[in-house]
Amino acid sequence: MSSIYWLEPDSIDFPPADLALRDPNGLLAAGGDLSLPRLVSAYQNGIFPWFDDDQPILWWSPDPRCVLFPDQLYLSKSLRKALRKQDYSVTFDRAFETVITSCSAPRASTSETWITEDMKQAYAELHHAGFAHSVEVWRNGELVGGLYGIAMGRMFFGESMFSKQRDASKIAFVYLVEQLRTWGYYLIDCQVHSDHLASLGAGEIPRSEFLKILNREINTDVQHTWHMNWCYQKRESS
C-alpha cells in the first residue's frame, strides 16, 4: 500500500487498521470530521486523530502499539517519594476542559501543538457524552498536572498529559491506573512510545495483538460509573 484512504463525508466507516502505512508509521486515512459518531467509531477500531492546524484531519493506527497493562504499572523510587508526600489532591472529571487546554499549550521543546481548537471542542463533546474523562492534580488550589483520555468497555485510550510541577502528570497517571485496575480495566492504550510512558511501565505490542484485545474488550460491560468531582486527598498505598 502506497497511499492513504480519503474518508467519505457521509460515512463514519474506516478502512481496516492493519492497512495503515509503514512510513509514516500508522497513517491510515485523511479527511472526514471530528463528529462524535466518527470519533467513537475510530476508537472502537483502534484508530485516533493526530494532525496539525495546516493539515487535513489525519487518522492513525501505529504498529507496534504502546500500551500499559494496569498490573504492570512501575513506580520509581523518586515517584514513590513524591506520592508519599501527600501534598496534593487528585480529582476525576472536575476540570476536563481546563486539562485539555493545558495539554494543548506548547511544550518547552517546541512551539507547536497537535491539540487544535477543533480537537478541544470535539473532545469536550466526547466528555459531555460520557466517553472522555480527565484526572487533575492540585496543590494549594492550583491545577498543576493532569491527563485526559477515552473510556470504552475495559479499555482506556490515553490522549495527552501535562505537568506544571515535577511529577504532577505521573501522579495523575498513577491514580488513573490504580482506579482502572480496581474497576477491572484490561488495557490502557498509550498510542506511541515515549520515555515518559516507558518509565511508568508502558511497553509495545504488535498492532495485531492490540486489535485482538480491542475487539474482545471494547464492548465488555463494566460495573462502574465515572463520577464527577471525585477527590482523593490522601493515597494509602506507597
pLDDT-wise least confident of 129-143, 144-158, 223-237:
223-237
Residue 14 within any structural domain of the chain: yes
Residue 81 within a domain: yes
Candidate from 7-11, 130-134, 189-193 with smallest mean pLDDT:
7-11
Asked which of 42, 62, 82 is the last residue of a domain, the reply is 62
CATH number at residue 50: 3.30.70.3550
Report the CATH number at residue 168. Answer: 3.40.630.70
Q: How far apart are CA 211 and CA 187, in angstroms?
A: 12
Asked whether residue 212 falls in the same domain as residue 161, the answer is yes
Q: What is the CA radius of gyration of the chain?
A: 17
Q: 57 and 123: one domain?
A: no
Indicate the number of domains in the chain: 2
3-class SS letters over the chain: CCCCEEECCCCCCCCCHHHCCCCCCCEEEEECCCCHHHHHHHHHCCCEECCCCCCCCEEECCCCEEEECHHHCCCCHHHHHHHHHCCCEEEECCCHHHHHHHHHCCCCCCCCCCCCHHHHHHHHHHHHCCCEEEEEEEECCEEEEEEEEEEECCEEEEEEEEECCCCHHHHHHHHHHHHHHHHCCCEEEEECCCHHHHCCCCEEECHHHHHHHHHHHCCCCCCCCCCCCEEECCCCCC
pTM (2 decimals)?
0.92
| In a shared domain, residues 198 and 80 | yes
Mean pLDDT of 147-175: 97
Residues 54 and 154 both lie in one domain: no
Q: Are 121 and 49 part of one and the same domain?
A: no
- Over the stretch 61-111, which tens digit does the pLDDT of each residue have? 999 999 999 999 999 999 999 999 989 999 999 999 999 999 998 765 544
Partner residues linked to 90 by β-bridges:
137, 232
| Residue 190 forms part of a structural domain | yes
- Asked if 71 and 21 sit in the same domain, the reply is no
Q: What is the mean pLDDT of residues 206-210?
A: 98
Residues 56 and 73 in one domain: no
Per-residue pLDDT at 58: 96
Domain that holds residue 13: 5-62
Strand 27-31 and strand 5-7: the pairing is: parallel
146 lies in some domain: yes
Domain end, chosen from 62, 86, 105, is at 62
Confidence of residue 238 (pLDDT cuts 50, 70, 90): very low
> What type of residue is 163?
S
pLDDT digits (tens, 9 = 90+) for 117-141: 999 999 999 999 999 999 999 999 9
53 and 110, same domain (yes or no): no
CA distance 150 to 135: 12
Q: Residue 229: its pLDDT value, please?
A: 52
